[in-house]
Chain A
Amino acid sequence: MLIWFLPVFLFFLLVGLPVFFGLLAAPGLLIWLDPETSTRDITLLYRNVYNGMDSFPLMAIPFFMLAGELMNRGGITERLVEFSQALMGHFRGGLAHVNILSSMLFAGLSGSAVADTSALGSMLIPAMERQGYSRRFAAAVTAASSVIGPIIPPSGIMIIYAYVMGESVAALFLAGIVPGVMVGVGLMLVVRLMANRYDLPKAERIVHKNQSISGKEYWFSFVLLRLNLGWLLFALFRGVTGIAGETVAEDGAVIGPAPFTIWVTFGVCVLAVHVLLMGLRRSVDHDFRIVTKRAVVPLQTPILILGGILIGVFTPTEAATIAVAYALVVGFFVLGSMKLADMPDVLSRSAMTSAVVLLLVGAAVAFKVVVSLSMAPQILADFILTLSENPLILLFLINILLFIVGMFLDAGPAIIILGPILAPIFTDLGVHPVHFAIIMSVNLTVGLATPPMGLVLFVASSVSGERVETIAKAILPFLAVEILVIFLITYFPAFSMTIPRLTGFVQ
């Protein structure tokens, strides 16, 4: 009888019951009606909601939201857009390219497609209109590129998936990098083709000439850039030459390098980078240098997060906290763009959004227990295997199913509902759990930009003042590329799995 919870749940969902209540009402109702179960089972449902929320890894969600919110308040959007424009503005369709590149950079900070659309859209859509782009095209590019937000790490939906399905957050984060870049590059190719056909204009590379930068920020960026590049050179040097690396003694013991050797080698690398940068300094103009320098501070956030997780220094939760601390230091002391009076609003927005997600995750954990008890995955697997036994065809069918679900439901709740049902089926068929997680995440995220219920379409509409239907038509060429990328990452696991494998996060 318990298997009926699934149709009951779908019915509740379709008539408009909030997902949180649906996840609890459908199984609760059937447990209550089933003579073989008792009220103790309903108590278990409640306990699972609580246990589902009482989790240290899940704490990364409020922290990443807070870090994104703080960065956004600190005026980083403008810096990222100016930096993107300095890099790509001179191409045909310059501002459309800038829009996409800004989304890719923004994705490393926020992990939210909605934040991306509203922050970049309010700035770039009017600018694109002034340059002669149609408003619907500008809104469509903004909406289409914003889906990169939850694909490139950090990503809220990947944290949720990893927690509900017991996967490694770090592995999912790393697996999202290539698909995110592929979506971005794909969208740029569409813009390139359209630029020729519709004669899209080029833009100035530098918007604000003779900009100044505060002394504090100048030196902060100066040091950060050298430390990052110096560390990269140090890692390469150590890997290639073995100097300052670990050695294996005759008895097999691993001997670490002396701290003195490490620091001296690192110092030499920083010095070498400094000399290189000073040499390059002469070949670029002053404005370009200032714009680039202003982008160093925000772009340090993804480096801190991913670097910390990759080296194994931080857990994702700790990395998120470090990102919050960094955003606070930058906002208050380096850029001076935040005031104490801004904090209650920032904190309450992050707390409210994450509370809704946390409740949903708690309900999803309770729901997952009922899913396992009801044997739903096995029954569904038997049904799916009657359609075909070829995993490639089944993956194609799943792509279509997820795409349709994504049209009606946001990515987070959809992952919470479908992950526990679908993932076990495909893992049994031999699809790697991390690969399947990426297929689900990218598929459902692209759904955010598809009509009729795509959330970012509505946000793009409210930011641009253009009707949703009009944006939905203009977005079609971009969606086609995104669907192509979905198929590529579905049928060629190497796209998503190579980085996690190389870094040892996936066997």
Chain B
Amino acid sequence: MALLHGLLRPIELWNDWVLGLGRWIAVICIALMVVCILLQVFFRYVLNNALPWPDEAARFLMLWMTGLIAPLAYRRGGFVSIDLALRLIPERLAALISLVLLVIAGFVLYWGIGIGYSEVTGFGGRFDTASLYVPLSLDFTEWYRVPRSWMFSSLFVGVILLFVVNLELILRSVITMLGEASRLRPIMGDDVVVE
């Protein structure tokens, strides 16, 4: 049991810190998305001069927002599922089935990490984005065209973070099954409601 708690603790700490940081970056991403599209509207309709980059920049930000904050939603139990069957069967059996479901989710994520890595480092990732550049010098004279791999990385990072959250949930589930649920620290925050 001590081993399980010992394994859980660093994963909990990692998730606390990394997902907390991810949340803040996601907050900045969604705010910047709004700015991008407002600029697009302003330039197109008011100045009659459509900018090429806001559309792609906003999608870039949306993908990173999703990758960084979805794991936090998963950790807080915000992924939609039908839990009626689990509520109707005996508690021990329900805990066992929950564990099996987490393992299935783990397989999906493990498979996602493998493919995600090959996508980011593969052929498609070497192409450049259509309109995104970052400055390489402070006087804005040198620009670097953003490769598509930077966009692909959003889902890859998201899947890695989800995998670590899944590991934490598996360990918690095992500890609960062994009757030590009372020693677990609560992680549920606000319920995330999806429609």
Contacts and interface: CB of A to CB of B under 8 A. Distances in A.
Interface stretch (A96-104, A204-212, A357-365, A379-387): A357-365
Q: How large is the interface on B (under 10, 10 to 19, 20 to 34, 35 or more residues)?
A: 35 or more
A455 B101 CA distance: 23
B172 interface: no
Contact of B62 (A13, A59, A411): A59
Contacts, number: 187
Interface in B90-145: 97-98, 101, 104-105, 107-108, 111-112, 115-116, 118-119
A353 B194 CA distance: 6
Interface in B48-101: 55, 58-59, 62-63, 65-66, 69-70, 72-74, 78-86, 97-98, 101
A19 B80 contact: yes
A49 B26 CA distance: 19
A356 B70 contact: yes
A133 B168 CA distance: 47
A17 B81 contact: yes
A14 B82 CA distance: 6
A357 B194 CA distance: 7
A66 B86 contact: no
A314 interface: yes
B155 interface: yes
B101 A16 contact: yes
B37 interface: yes
State the majority secondary structure of interface residues on B: helix
A53 B70 CA distance: 13
Interface string A181-202: 0000000000000000000000
Nearest to A459: B193
Contacts of B194: 353, 356-357, 360, 410, 412-413
A319 to B, nearest CB: 10
Interface of A: 12-21, 24-25, 28, 42-43, 46-47, 49-50, 53-56, 58-59, 62-63, 66, 112-114, 150, 156-157, 313-314, 317-318, 321-322, 324-325, 343-344, 347-360, 408-413, 448, 452-453, 455, 459
Contacts of B192: 352-353, 356
A28 B152 contact: no
A191 to B, nearest CB: 25
Contacts of B98: 16
A352 B79 contact: no
Contacts of A322: 38, 41
Interface string B134-167: 0000000000000000011001001000000000
Nearest to B118: A43
Given A66-B30, A318-B41, A321-B41, A351 B69 contact: yes
Given A17-B81, A28-B108, A50-B155, A321 B34 contact: yes
Nearest to A347: B27
Nearest to A363: B108
Contacts of A359: 66, 70, 158
Given A12-B104, A351-B29, A321 B37 contact: yes
